[in-house]
Amino acid sequence: MKNILKVAMAQISPVWLDKVATLKKIEATIQEAAKEKAELVVFGEALLPGYPFWLALTDGAAWDTKINKELHAHYARNSVQIELGELDSVCSLAKENKIAIYLGIIERARNRGGHSLYCSLVYIDAEGKIKSVHRKLQPTYDERLTWSPGDGNGLQVHSLKQFTVGGLNCWENWMPLARTALYGLGENLHIAVWPGSDHNTRDITRFIARESRSFVISVSSLMKTEDFPKTTPHLAEILKKAPAVMANGGSCIAGPDGEWLVEPVLDKEGLLYHNLDFNRVYEERQNFDPVGHYSRPDITKLTVNRERQSTVEFKD
């Protein structure tokens, strides 16, 4: 049935700051979702290789400290360079199993010199093709000490059966103009990815659904300090101030009326499934459509620059 989409929320923890091991876990999760006939699987923000929790625990803003420099270098070495084919195995699984994927990664972008890090949300279609890489527009608070601000190139949507799907990273979902850009492209299935915890997902998931009259899937990761690899640089120093639970999940789904389809799920690792019926989008757009019959483009209009930004332009 083209109007029904089976989705899977991958609420899992990374093998923290270990790209190779985390990638293997992601691959196994995709295969499990495919066995259950899921057509879309979504992973949390920065899952590959993990969220920079250390910044809040090691005086991350202190200038020129050895601990933060060495942790940043370790993070960079475990980041993803898409141009080198480091997501090829994920793309192959998408094609093999005819499953679309949203995956949160830390990207070390070669077209920005190959040294700075971006929190990116990658969409891979069911043919195994990377269709968009959205670099987070504005890192939040201490994230700015390790992540660079992105650009508008990834503000894109994609056709998936009868749905039009788009996504944003974490607090980008609070940016009304970023949301509007996706609404204007016809989005009716919104993906919101988070590092973890229901204090992020509980309110905004239903709010975006009600504002946009779309389905909203919020996917969070899990993270406990007991799961930090023993090989993590400066682990003893990180653990001094770390709570036992860094991220408790909170993955959930709201329908186009803003009501829960799946309430936030806490402290449970694994895949969460649900079937979405596209007809519900049309039903709720009858009384409100933020970029359609309930808009006034003659008065207010948004301009979006989707050019991929680069410091140097070469003309050979």
Which residues are known to be catalytic? 45, 136, 170
3-state secondary structure of 262: strand
Distances (CA, A) of 257 to 27, 166, 193: 34, 18, 20
Q: What is the spatial distance between Cα 70 and Cα 261, in angstroms, rounded to a whole number?
A: 43
Residue 200: phi and psi, rounded to 5, are -85, -45
Distance CA 282, CA 288 (A): 10
Q: What are phi and psi of 245, to 5 degrees?
A: -115, 115
Residue 153 neighbours by CB under 8 Å, 6+ apart: 132, 133, 134, 135, 306, 307, 308, 309
CA-to-CA distance for 238 and 241, rounded, in angstroms?
6
Other beta carbons within 10 angstroms of residue 89's beta carbon come to: 14
Q: What is the DSSP letter of 57?
A: T
Per-residue H/E/C for 160-219 = ECCEEEEEEEHHHHHCHHHHHHHHHCCCCEEEEEECCCHHHHHHHHHHHHHHHCCEEEEE
Q: Which residues contact 293 (CB under 8 A, 6 or more apart)?
A: none
**What percent of the chain is helix, strand and coil (3-state, nearest 5)?**
30, 30, 40
**The pair of three-digit structure tokens given for residue 309, joined into one six-digit string:** 């930004």
